[in-house]
Chains A and B, each alone.
Chain A
Amino acid sequence: MNHDDIVSGLVQELRRGTLILLALNCLQKPMYGYNLVKELQNHSIPIEANTLYPLMRRLESQGLLKSEWETSESKPRKYYKITEDGLIVLKKTTEQWKAFSNNVDKLLSEEENKNDK
């Protein structure tokens, strides 16, 4: 059995699940696509560029983000920012995430402790 392939698949699934939450959180201040990639990378969250940009567009069509082309700079850029609805979703999802990850951590550390004994 190739463990590495299974692990990398699982990690990718976990990342994908949290990506929306992270993107919404970062976009509380306006950012353009590459800006957001860098921001996430700075927090040691690697992200595939071809996943993030289409995701932002999908969130925009769901009404969680709004976008605007900024043409006053040297090159035109599309800036994304969270909407009122997006903020509500972000708040509720963050609460859920904290409770969930807390429970997961507890369960995992319990099992670890048992194994150590």
Chain B
Amino acid sequence: MTNDLIERYIYAATKRLPGKIRADVSNELRTIIDDMLTERCGNTTPSEKDIKVILTELGTPQELYEQYNPDSDKCLIGSPYYSTYKYVLKIVLICAASGITLAAVISSLISGFGNTDFLTVNSFIIFFRDLFVRTFETVPSALVWAFAFVTILFAIFYHKNIKIDNTGNLDNLPSVPVKKEKISKAEPIVGIAISIAFMSVFLICPQIFSFGITKTNTWIPIFNIDTIHSTWYIIVLFGILGIIRESVQLIEGRRNKKVMVTTIVTNVLSAVMTVIWLARDNILNRDFIDFVTSYFPDKGEAIPPVLSNFQLLFMGVILLALAIDTIDTVVKTYKAKNNNSC
């Protein structure tokens, strides 16, 4: 029996099913409906009302589709990954939003206050205007990217069944951290935000590190913008190393060997990156060096060695900071370990 309503019903129930089963399911449904109508009406021709009763009994086309769809029990990110996904997503969104906002604040501070004689009403207006525009320009897109990245990552974990739960082996359950051993969540989150801010500022607007010359009202960038742009991958790697270091601290939540080793490895790699990056002689802007040297009338001898080797000084400061961080981590880890074993 062919009936327009039945055909519409079958079409609605099967149109989104995979092609290879669609025709078969349609035929099966047609037979079932026919059997149900025969049962209800016998040899008399079923009325429109009879058909509606039978189709209502069979369920809505959407319900049928859900039942027949081989993927109906699948979802983008299901249990047991969903709760971890929500936790990670929350942290990543906080880090991305605060990192990008921090970058916007730094660049707005410089554009607002960098070129004026001092704190004037105008400089505040420029600061808040730039902060507003930059925040609303960059934060939403950063959040969308962060959301997409974490979601895709966890969708892959879920569909490839990649194991992320390591609490299955009871012997490997970590001990309850004592107070000295604990790393607060805020510490690594701020660290990740700073890494994101560092990457954003250097990649998007390295020119904000500029010296303002009030007399001529011009700006001299400290860095050579072309070189910064061409060495983007070093900046990205530097930022990623920072994010890895802080993420391990966040996940572990305690001073342990894993955190210590990650910190040492990422810091050593960051130091290597720094040396590679600053070993180029054109990272600093030539005009900036000329501008600084022009302040010293007897060129050459009178320029303090610190300024003539500004790039080396810059390298030294970064390496020193990395060394202090490494030593600090090692000392804190051993202190926590001793404390724990007492």
Q: How far is the CA of A76 from the CA of B29 in the complex (A)?
A: 12
- Which one of B24, B34, B36 contacts A75 once the chains associate, using CB atoms below 8 Å? B34
- Which one of B32, B34, B39, B57 contacts A53 once the chains associate, using CB atoms below 8 Å? B32
Residues facing A in B27-51 (CB within 8 A) are 27-29, 31-32, 34-36, 39
Q: A33–B32 contact, CB under 8 A?
A: yes
Q: Does A88 contact B (CB under 8 A)?
A: no
Residue of B at shortest CB range from A78? B28
Q: A34–B70 contact, CB under 8 A?
A: no
Q: B27–A76 contact, CB under 8 A?
A: yes
Q: B31–A77 contact, CB under 8 A?
A: yes
> Quick one: given A76-B27, A78-B27, are A49 and B32 in contact (CB under 8 Å)?
yes
Q: A49–B58 contact, CB under 8 A?
A: yes
> Quick one: given A48-B59, A49-B57, are A61 and B70 in contact (CB under 8 Å)?
yes
Q: How far is the CA of A48 from the CA of B59 in the complex (A)?
A: 9
Contacts of B21 in A (CB 8 A): 57
Contacts of B35 in A (CB 8 A): 32-34
B48 CB, nearest partner CB in chain A, Å: 20
B63 CB, nearest partner CB in chain A, Å: 6
Contacts of A48 in B (CB 8 A): 59
- Which one of A54, A55, A57, A78 contacts B31 once the chains associate, using CB atoms below 8 Å? A78
Q: Does B68 contact A (CB under 8 A)?
A: yes
B28 CB, nearest partner CB in chain A, Å: 5
- Which one of B24, B31, B39, B64 contacts A50 once the chains associate, using CB atoms below 8 Å? B64
Q: Does A51 contact B (CB under 8 A)?
A: yes
Q: How far is the CA of A51 from the CA of B24 in the complex (A)?
A: 17
The bracket for how many chain B residues form the interface is 20 to 34
A79 CB, nearest partner CB in chain B, Å: 11
Q: Does B67 contact A (CB under 8 A)?
A: yes
Q: B31–A33 contact, CB under 8 A?
A: yes
- Which one of A50, A76, A77 contacts B59 once the chains associate, using CB atoms below 8 Å? A50
Contacts of B32 in A (CB 8 A): 33-34, 49, 53
A47 CB, nearest partner CB in chain B, Å: 12
Residue of B at shortest CB range from A51? B67
Q: B27–A57 contact, CB under 8 A?
A: no
Of B28, B58, B59, the most chain A CB neighbours within 10 A belong to B28
Residues facing A in B44-100 (CB within 8 A) are 57-59, 63-64, 67-68, 70
B3 CB, nearest partner CB in chain A, Å: 15
Contacts of B57 in A (CB 8 A): 49
Contacts of A38 in B (CB 8 A): 39
Q: B59–A54 contact, CB under 8 A?
A: no
Q: B68–A57 contact, CB under 8 A?
A: yes
A91 CB, nearest partner CB in chain B, Å: 27
Contacts of B29 in A (CB 8 A): 53
Residue of B at shortest CB range from A56? B28
A60 CB, nearest partner CB in chain B, Å: 11
Q: A49–B36 contact, CB under 8 A?
A: yes
Contacts of A34 in B (CB 8 A): 31-32, 35-36, 39
Mark contacts of B278-312 with chain A using CB atoms, 8 A cut-off: 1 yes-contact digit, 0 otherwise.
00000000000000000000000000000000000
10 additional A-B pairs beyond A33-B31, A48-B59, A49-B59, beta carbons within 8 Å, are: A33-B32, A33-B35, A34-B32, A34-B35, A49-B32, A54-B68, A55-B67, A58-B70, A75-B31, A78-B31
Where the two chains meet, the residues of A that have a C-beta atom closer than 8 Å to any C-beta of B are 32-34, 38, 48-51, 53-55, 57-58, 61, 69, 75-78
5 interchain residue pairs of minimum CB distance: A34-B35, A54-B67, A50-B59, A54-B68, A50-B64
